[in-house]
Amino acid sequence: MIKEYILDGLSCANCAAKIEGEVKELDGVSFASVNLMTTLLQIDVSDLHVMDLLSSVIRIVKQHEPDVTVVEKESGGQAKTGSNGEIISKKKLLPLIAGTLVFACGVVLERFFRVDEYVVLAVFVASYLLLGGKVILRAFTNIAKGKVFDEHFLMAAATIGAFAIGEYAEAAGVMLFYYVGELLQEAAVGKSRRTITSLLDMRPDYANLLKDGDYVKISPEIVNIGDAILVKPGERIPLDGVVVEGESMVDLSALTGESTPVPMAAEDEVMSGSVNLSGALTVEVTRTFGRSTASRIIELAQNAVSKKAPAENYITKFAKYYTPSVVALAFLIAVIPPLAGAGEWSGWLNRGLIFLVISCPCALVISIPLGFFGGIGSASRKGILVKGGNYLEALNDPDIIVFDKTGTLTKGEFKVTEVKPSEGTDARELLETAAYAEAFSNHPVALSILREYGSPVDKRGLTGHTELAGHGVSVVSSGQTIVAGNEALMAEMEIAIDKPEGIGTKVYVAKDGQYIGYIMISDEIKQDSKAAVRELKKNGAGKIVMLTGDNAQIAEAVARELGIDEVHAELLPHDKVEKVEELKKQKRADGKLVFIGDGINDAPVLAMADVGVAMGGLGSDAAIEAADVVLMTDEPSKLSEAIKVARFTKRVVRQNIALSIGIKAAVLLLGALGFATMWEAVFADVGVAMLAVINAMRVVRR
């Protein structure tokens, strides 16, 4: 079973990784993930061990973060976004101010006044304890529990050693800069957290429900499908629905990233989370609160950062072995040379202490996940929901991009352009018969026929309705069997048909095995489809492919106009799966296959692609579950934008890895050779961490 806990006050990426690792080791736990952005710990645990889980989680969390509170998340509730919304806790600023003032006093006394050495020592120790008392306490507590080689041990060993060799200012200074570094890292996480969880602002607080002729303000969670709600100007739309009365302009920017308001009137669909700007709207609810657009976006955003990119997992493993290795080297540097008579103990001990300060892996541990947090947040502001850092990283190498046609590259808004009855049948009879056949279908082709027919269909006289996947539909009306579908369906039923020359989707209609005519339906290419294909090629896509169930003539015409490299037409749903399997074998070893579709019948292909992209908002539940990336608008060009964000994110992450490891390696070498002081060591630790964090914040601001 899945258990969820809120770790209120958690802001340390390194501690989050350690908590996650230790929880995974608990008996009965098959999966654990700490989401630093929402402070949510998710655990998959067996029923036999669930009773002891909370106490074990609290024990582990308190070992690493004594100030963090563990609260079991209520079913269906939302995770928190941080303590009181503070970027830096105020209670952590007081020790910084006091410790800094005392440290400054120590520096002044040491340099400008002739006072006793023990007075100077006492002042620096006071500053040291104000700033690092908790670090020292945590280090000894962890050692008592057998947990060595963490950042608390490194700071404690290095600074106590510095005091031992008479470097008082350096000892207190290291702890001062370490404290400042921790606060700045906390601030960076807080800012990134606000970027990610700003989506929570779209969560509606209430709905105006029509009840007994009046409107009552209630929680949107208890509104049912079919209820009527009133959305006043300036209010956030609380639930998905259809406008039944009123006209207004609606701001969709929180959902799609587009700042231009959209007009809404009767029969238009509205999405929860958007803001009504002008007129009052009466809306009939079509989705419950839990399945509404706003709730699902919030859920996607909260879960996104729990799926780590390969680079994040690599750095976690790297830090696990890197720190003890450097500690061992520091010990050898401090002990072996003086034993061999190569110098005094104090000089080599100082070099070993410098090694300890440098060895802290904070820069890597914080800056890399922060880069991916920023990338996910940046994409979300553009109306692109990425379900995890692993998918963001995968978008860097799109080799083969596969498009569905209808609803993805074309508008999917079919219009009847020709009604051609056979001899002995008039156009109205043909249209009516086709409307009867399509009465139960929600396919865009069916809806266009029903719109053209323009009259209500009495479904009570229709029986035996059957969807013939990839072929058409069949229904029995007044004892007569009606079929409507493509050429393959007519061939299968051995019905002779006319074959028109025009370009468009042709729906052939037969009654009791007799052909009565065809209806031509045309779709329109989306305005930005050509630009989308062009941009994807510019961004390094090796091959762009289109898969469609439409006939080959239409598919090839669309492909020619858009500049698509390869097209496969007249495919059934299972044919698309087979084609994608074939295409995956053709991609580069390091390349990814990206499939983008509108969600209708696309779930199997979305699931099997390296990166599945569903577009057009959150209309298809199955597609959203299967997709790795969701585009909130109907613009295929958003895929190029997602790739640009992914590449910028990876570029920054690589820069941080090179920056952190490169500078640390250089200063480690200088320290071993005796050319680096404790202040250079502080820069190699805290300074590099800050540079990496500042670089990572570029992604957040993008």
Same domain (yes/no): 447, 404? no
At 323 the pLDDT is 72
Does residue 89 carry a pLDDT above 80? no
| Amino acid identity for residue 205 in this structure | D
**Angle, nearest 10°, between helix axes 13-24 and 53-64?**
150
The answer to whether residue 576 sits within a structural domain is yes
Same domain (yes/no): 7, 42? yes
Reported in sequence order, the residue ranges of 554-610 that DSSP labels E, i.e. its strands, are: 566-568, 592-597
Q: Is residue 597 very low, low, confident or very high in pLDDT (cuts 50, 70, 90)?
A: confident
Alpha carbon distance 700, 685 (integer Å): 23
- Across 74-88, 585-599, 672-686, which has the greatest mean pLDDT? 585-599
At 309 the pLDDT is 61
Same domain (yes/no): 640, 614? yes
**Residue range 410-462, pLDDT digits in tens:** 887 778 888 999 988 899 999 999 999 999 887 778 888 999 998 888 888 88
Residue 404: active-site member: yes
The answer to whether residue 389 sits within a structural domain is yes
At 324 the pLDDT is 78
pLDDT > 70: what percent of the chain?
87
Q: Which two tokens stand for residue 397?
A: 């190498």
Alpha carbon distance 642, 638 (integer Å): 6
Same domain (yes/no): 532, 636? yes
Same domain (yes/no): 406, 419? no
Task: Tell me whether strands 398-404 and 592-597 are parallel, antiparallel or unpaired.
Answer: parallel
What H or E segment, with its residue span, contains residue 506?
Answer: strand 505-511
What H or E segment, with its residue span, contains residue 214?
Answer: strand 214-218
Domain count, the chain: 4
Are 303 and 134 a contacting pair, CB within 8 Å?
Answer: no
Q: Assign residue 244 the CATH number of its domain.
A: 2.70.150.10
Q: Assign residue 478 the CATH number of its domain.
A: 3.40.1110.10
Same domain (yes/no): 580, 489? no
- Sheet harboring 262-264: ordered strands across? 262-264, 248-251, 275-276
The answer to whether residue 303 sits within a structural domain is no
User: What value, to the nearest 5°, has the Cα angle with vertex 500 and ends 498 and 502?
Assistant: 165
Does residue 70 carry a pLDDT above 50? yes
Alpha carbon distance 286, 48 (integer Å): 40
Does residue 647 carry a pLDDT above 90? yes
At 307 the pLDDT is 60
Identify the domain boundary among 476, 495, 522.
522
Q: What is the phi/psi pair of residue 460, to 5°? A: -65, -25
| Amino acid identity for residue 95 in this structure | P
Identify the domain boundary among 62, 85, 108.
85
The answer to whether residue 9 sits within a structural domain is yes
CA distances from 197 to 81, 90, 654 (A): 7, 21, 25
Q: Give how far the C-alpha of residue 265 lies from the chain's centroid of Cα atoms, to the nearest Å.
A: 33
Mean pLDDT of 29-34: 87
Closest CA to 434 of 387, 390, 484: 484
Q: Is residue 682 very low, low, confident or very high in pLDDT (cuts 50, 70, 90)?
A: confident
Does residue 171 carry a pLDDT above 80? yes
Mean pLDDT of 299-309: 61
Same domain (yes/no): 572, 505? no
Are 623 and 597 a contacting pair, CB within 8 Å?
Answer: yes
Residue whose pair of structure tokens reads 């109205």 in the numeric block: 428
Same domain (yes/no): 230, 81? no
Identify the domain boundary among 522, 545, 566.
522
Cβ-Cβ contacts under 8 Å for 345 (sequence gap 6 or more): 338
Mean pLDDT of 652-658: 87
Closest CA to 668 of 323, 351, 332, 320: 351
DSSP conformation class of 460? G
Are 169 and 106 a contacting pair, CB within 8 Å?
Answer: yes
The answer to whether residue 180 sits within a structural domain is no
Same domain (yes/no): 497, 604? no
Task: Tell me whether strands 281-285 and 214-218 are parallel, antiparallel or unpaired.
Answer: unpaired
The answer to whether residue 178 sits within a structural domain is no
pLDDT > 90: what percent of the chain?
25
Same domain (yes/no): 465, 510? yes
At 155 the pLDDT is 77
**Residue range 373-392, pLDDT digits in tens:** 778 878 888 888 888 888 88
Same domain (yes/no): 464, 531? no
Q: Which of 404, 602, 610, 685 is catalytic?
A: 404
Q: Which two tokens stand for residue 245?
A: 């009365």
Q: Is residue 82 very low, low, confident or very high in pLDDT (cuts 50, 70, 90)?
A: very low
What H or E segment, with its residue span, contains residue 533?
Answer: helix 529-538
What is the rounded radius of gyration, in angstroms, for the C-alpha atoms of the chain?
32
Q: Assign residue 587 the CATH number of its domain.
A: 3.40.50.1000
Q: Which domain holds residue 242?
A: 224-287
**Residue range 536-562, pLDDT digits in tens:** 999 888 899 999 887 788 888 889 999
Q: Is residue 104 very low, low, confident or very high in pLDDT (cuts 50, 70, 90)?
A: very high
Report the Cα–Cα distance between both ends of the chain, in Å, rounded.
39
Same domain (yes/no): 504, 591? no
Q: Which two tokens stand for residue 249?
A: 């302009």
| Amino acid identity for residue 684 in this structure | A
- Sheet harboring 281-285: ordered strands across? 214-218, 207-211, 228-231, 281-285, 241-245, 269-270
The answer to whether residue 98 sits within a structural domain is no
Q: Which of 187-196, 468-477, 681-690 has the lowest mean pLDDT?
A: 187-196
Q: How many CA atoms lie within 13 A of 441 on its CB side?
A: 28
Does residue 11 carry a pLDDT above 80? no
Dihedral angle of Cα 620, 625, 627, 630, to the nearest 10 degrees: 60
At 388 the pLDDT is 80
At 567 the pLDDT is 94
249 has which bridge partners?
263
Task: Tell me whether strands 241-245 and 281-285 are parallel, antiparallel or unpaired.
Answer: antiparallel
The answer to whether residue 609 sits within a structural domain is yes
Long-range contacts of 136-139 (CB under 8 A, 24+ apart): 136/160, 138/66
With 0-12 CB in 10 A as exposed, 13-18 as middle and 19+ as buried, what is 247? middle
**Residue range 338-378, pLDDT digits in tens:** 888 887 887 888 888 877 777 766 666 666 777 887 788 78
